[in-house]
Structure 1
Amino acid sequence: MGKIIKAGVCSYGMSGQVFHAPFLHVNPGFEFAAVVERSKHLAQQRYPDVKVYTSVADMLADKSLDLIIVNTPNATHFDYAKAALEAGKNVIVEKPFTVHSEQGKELVALAKQKGLLLSVYHNRRYDSDYKMVRHVVQSGLLGDILEVEIHYDRFKDELSYKKHKEVAQPGTGALYDLGSHLIDQALSLFGMPEALWADIRNIRSTSVVDDYFELVLYYNNLRVRLKCNYLVREALPAYVLHGRKGSFIKTKSDIQEALLLKGLLPDASDWGAEAPAEWGLLHTEIDGEIVKKFLPGSNGNYMDYFQGIYEALVNGAPVPVQPEDAIKVIRVIETAFESSKARKVVDM
C-alpha cells in the first residue's frame, strides 16, 4: 500500500459529517485521523478510531497529521488556514476561501514559502449537472455561447439553525455561501469577466444577511447571469445555455448531498448517478440536422477531488482546485457588493 495521508477536520457539523469525513474514510489513501469537537463526540460514534480534540490549536499540535481541512465558519477560514500552514500542515479550505481576496493572496504566499499544498473545496465542480454542462460547452454542441443563466434557488423563509450564518458580518449571506459555487462554475467555464453588475438584497422577513442576488457577468459576446433566491417555491432549471447553434437546459440534479445526508458512504459503483428524468435537454444543429434530445447524465463524485488531493500530495500532480482560482471567486464577490451598493456596472 502507498502512503497514507492522515487528515484532521476542524469541525464536525454538516460539512464535516457530509462532505469530508465519508470521503476520507472510504478512500484508502487517507485516514480520518482527527477532528475538533468541543462537547459532543459524534465523530467517534461513526468512526471509533478518530482522535477528538477540543480546539483547533490542540489538533494543529499533532505532529502525525499531514493534512488539515478548515471547514469552520467563513470568517475564521483565514486565521485557521494560516495557523495550519504555519504549523507545517497541508491545507484544504472550505469555500468561500476567505472573506477578503487579500487574505487569500497572503495564504497562497505562505503556502509557497512553506512548500505546502493549499487547495479550496469547490466541490460543486464535481456535481453531475455541472459536469454535463461543462461537456456541452467544451464540445461546441451549441456553437458560440451567447447567454448563460445559472440558478441556485430554494424555498426557506425561516432563518438557518446555524446561528453564525445569520449574523450581519463580513463573509455571511447567500453570495458568499451559495454564490461561491455559481461564481466558481462560471469562472471555470468562461474565465474572469470584463465587468459585472449585481443586485444583492435581503428578502426573508427576519433576515439581516443577503438571501437574494443576481449577478450579470460581462464577456465580449457573452452574458452570464447568476441568480439565487431563498423564496422560490417552484424552481426554474438550474442551467440555461443559448448559443449560435442551439440551447441546453438542465435541472439541478446531483444527488450526492441527499445520499450523504442519509448516511450512505460514497463507495457504490453507481455513486452519483442521475435518474433519466433529470437528463438535460439539448436542442441544436449537428451536421446540418436539427437535433432535440435528452443527454444521459454523468455521475457526480466528490471523491475525484479527494483523489486529486492525494495525487498532488503523493505524486506531485496538479492541485485539483488551485487557490488562485478561489481568490478570483472572492474578487467577484467583492466587486458584486461594490456594484450593488453603487447600482452600476463595475469594470473588473
Structure 2
Amino acid sequence: MTETEAAPRAIRTAVVGFGLSGSVFHAPLLDADSNYSLDIIATSNAGRQEAATARYPGVRTVPDGRAVLDRADSLDLVVLGTPPATHYPLAKAALEAGLDVVVDKPFVVSSVQGEELIALARDRGRVLTVFQNRRWDGDYLTLRKLLDAQALGKVLRFESRFERWTPSIAKAWKARATADDGGGVLFDLGSHLIDQALQLFGPARVVHAELKARRSDERADDDVFLVLRHHAGVLTHLSMNMLCAQQAPRFRVLGSVGGFTKHGVDPQEPYIVAGGSPLDEDYGVEAPEWAGTLGRDGHLDRLPTARGNYPEFYRLLAEKILDGGAQSPHPLPVNPEDAVQVLTIIEKARELASLGS
C-alpha cells in the first residue's frame, strides 16, 4: 500500500461517563469497530476507572469532561454518556473545541437547548448525532420489515411499552433528578418509545398524557402513559412503568388485515452485561421462544426476530466522519432534529398532564 493509498486514521474517541451507557453501550461498540480508537474514558469513580483500564488496556482514564476537553487536540470525537442535565454544556463545549459529538438520549432537557446545539454544530461544521440505539433493536427491525411489506394492511393502532419491576432507584443521580434535570422515565425510556413511534408512523401530536410518581424516592415520574395521534391516522399508545409487576407485550400492532404481538426485550444489552462482545456470532440473536406472532386469532404464525444491530449506529457514523464529516453526503445515523421532535412531544405531554392533574 502506497502513502496515497494509506488506510484512513482511526477516529480518536473519548467516552465521557462509564456507567451503564458508557460501559455497556458506547465503549464495547467503539472497541469492536476498527474505524475507531478508544483513547480516553472519563469517570470520577475509582472503581469504574479500574474496570475501564482492565477491560481496555491502554485507554487513558480522566476524572471528567473538562479533562477530556483539555486534550481536544488529540481527539476527533466525544461521546457523552453522562446524566441528561450535563449534555447541553458538555456538548456545547465539545463542539466549540472543534470535536464531533455523540450525545446519549435524552438529547438534552429542552427542545430549545437541542436547537441551539444543532445550530452550533452547523456553524462550526461539526458532526452532531444522538444515540437512539433502539432503532436497531431486533424486534423494531422486525416490525419495520412487516410495515414495509404491508403485512398488516393499514395500521390502526400501535402499542409500545417498556415496563420493569424496579421498586427502588439504584442510581444516585436518578434519585436526585427532577424533570427539569432530565429525570424520570418519560425522558429515559420514553425517549426511545417516542422516537420509534415517530420513525414508524411519522409526525404526531399528544392527545392524552398521564404522568405519575409511584415510588417513594421518585422525584420526577416512573409511570407514564401517552396517546399520540399521527398525521397519517395511526393512534399510538406508549407505556413506561418502573413499578410493573406483570408486563404486557413489548409491541402490539393492529392493522386492517392482521396484527403483530411481541413479548420480551432486545437481548443486546444483557448480552454485553454478561460479558459478551458485539463481535460474537451470537450477539443480537434472540432466543426462538421469544418470537412474535403474526396474523389473526385462530390464524397465527410465529415470526422469528431479526438480529439486533447496535453496531450499525457507529458504522454509519464512521462512514459520515471519514468521508468529510459534516460536509459528507452520507446520512447521520440519527438526525438530531429527530431528537428535538422527541423533546417537543415530551414537553407537550408534560403540559397536557399538568392541565389534567
Q: Same fold (TM over 0.5)?
A: yes
User: Normalising by the residue count of structure 1, what TM-score does the alignment of the two structures yield?
Assistant: 0.94
Distance 1:257 1:16 in 2: 12
1:1-57 superposed Cα distances (whole Å, 9 cap, x missing partner): 333101101111121110011111111111111111224122111112111122312
Query: Of 68, 71, 74, which aligns to 1:59?
Result: 68
Equivalent AA in structure 2 for residue 338 of structure 1: E
Query: Of 6, 12, 34, which aligns to 2:12?
Result: 6
Q: SS at 1:249's partner residue?
A: strand
Q: Which range moves more in the overlay, 75-84 or 45-54?
A: 45-54
Distance 2:198 2:207 in 1: 13
Correspondence list, 1:197-208, <5 A: 197-208=208-219
1:292-324 superposed Cα distances (whole Å, 9 cap, x missing partner): 211121100110001011011112311010100
Q: SS at 2:89's partner residue?
A: helix
Equivalent AA in structure 2 for residue 164 of structure 1: W
Distance 1:37 1:133 in 2: 37
Report if the CA contact (8 A) 1:119-1:319 is conserved. yes
- Please state if 1:263 is matched with 2:257: no
Query: Of 325, 333, 336, which aligns to 1:320?
Result: 333
Deviation at 1:209, TM superposition (A): 2.1
- Please state if 1:293 is matched with 2:301: yes
Deviation at 1:219, TM superposition (A): 2.5
Distance 2:34 2:234 in 1: 43
Report if the CA contact (8 A) 2:81-2:104 is conserved. yes
The match for 2:55 is 46
Distance 1:230 1:84 in 2: 33
Q: SS at 2:25's partner residue?
A: helix
Q: SS at 2:307's partner residue?
A: coil
Query: Of 249, 252, 262, which aligns to 1:240?
Result: 252
Query: Of 315, 319, 323, which aligns to 1:307?
Result: 315
Report if the CA contact (8 A) 1:129-1:251 is conserved. no
Distance 2:54 2:206 in 1: 49
Distance 2:127 2:322 in 1: 11
Unpaired segments ≥5 residues, structure 2: 1-6
Q: SS at 2:204's partner residue?
A: coil
Distance 1:82 1:13 in 2: 22
- Please state if 1:155 is matched with 2:165: yes
Equivalent AA in structure 1 for residue 309 of structure 2: N
Deviation at 1:168, TM superposition (A): 4.4
The match for 1:337 is 350
Correspondence list, 1:273-292, <5 A: 273-283=285-295, 292=300
Equivalent AA in structure 2 for residue 178 of structure 1: L
Report if the CA contact (8 A) 2:146-2:152 is conserved. yes
Q: SS at 1:125's partner residue?
A: helix
Q: SS at 1:257's partner residue?
A: helix
Deviation at 1:69, TM superposition (A): 0.4
Q: SS at 1:205's partner residue?
A: coil
Distance 2:105 2:212 in 1: 21
The match for 2:25 is 19
- Please state if 1:112 is matched with 2:122: yes
Seen in structure 2, the aligned counterparts of structure 1 residues 39 and 205 have a Cα distance that, compared at 3 Å, is: closer
The match for 1:213 is 224
Distance 2:249 2:91 in 1: 36
The match for 2:193 is 182
Taking only aligned residues, the RMSD between alpha carbons, in angstroms, comes to 1.6
Report if the CA contact (8 A) 1:216-1:223 is conserved. yes
Distance 1:265 1:94 in 2: 20
Deviation at 1:206, TM superposition (A): 3.4
Q: SS at 1:226's partner residue?
A: strand
Unpaired segments ≥5 residues, structure 1: none
Deviation at 1:216, TM superposition (A): 0.1
Distance 1:248 1:51 in 2: 47
Distance 2:149 2:93 in 1: 43
Report if the CA contact (8 A) 1:241-1:248 is conserved. yes
Q: Which range moves more in the overlay, 237-246 or 204-213?
A: 204-213
Deviation at 1:273, TM superposition (A): 0.7
Distance 1:166 1:139 in 2: 44
